[in-house]
Amino acid sequence: MSTPDTQQAPIGIDRIKLPGSFGPVSPQRGMALVMALAILLILTILGVAAMSTTNLQEKMAGNVQEQTRAFEAAESGLSKILTTSGALVLTGQTTNEFPFGNTKAVVVVNYKQSVAPKRGSGYSSTSFSEANFDQQSTGTTLTGASSVIHRGVAQIVPK
């Protein structure tokens, strides 16, 4: 018989020891695996979201770069048209196309009106007039990005 000092506690679920295990089985032992899998799932979702955000930012940066190239082509077209002979015609409209590597600019120049030169410009209003032109330059890239710039230009011409 056993005495009260040596009596063992009744075997319960928190005291069962399975063969090949390291200690008693607890009802919470599988919870660590469930929590680890839940955390792994959350981290995976965050990683996929971060990757899709990165891809979107890369596309946006590429679009901005192409838009900048188109703008620079349009600006270059406006600079080039000023050195092109026959671009400023007093009878109507001229159209010129300028290639710049992988971009191009189409510049349309419209004659608007002739007015007397501004006072103090050094030109006599009896001998000279000021011809006003509207220039529109459209720069485009191979990817289809485009930029349009308008500019007014005046040229002093003899009467």
Average pLDDT in the chain: 86
CATH architecture of 35-158: 2-Layer Sandwich (3.30)
Q: Does residue 10 sit in helix, strand or coil?
A: coil
Distances (CA, A) of 96 to 54, 68, 83, 137, 153: 40, 21, 12, 9, 16
The pLDDT assigned to 136 comes to 97
| pTM score | 0.66
pLDDT at position 52: 87
Short-list 95, 109, 100, CA closest to 150: 109
The residues, ordered by sequence, that sit 6+ positions from 7 with a Cβ below 8 Å of its Cβ are none
Q: Where are the domains of the chain?
A: 35-158
- Which residues have a Cβ under 8 Å from the Cβ of 151 and sit 6 or more positions away? 78, 134, 135, 137
Ranges in the chain, pLDDT < 70? 1-29
Radius of gyration of the chain (CA): 40
| pLDDT confidence of residue 68 | 95
Longest Cα separation, the chain: 138
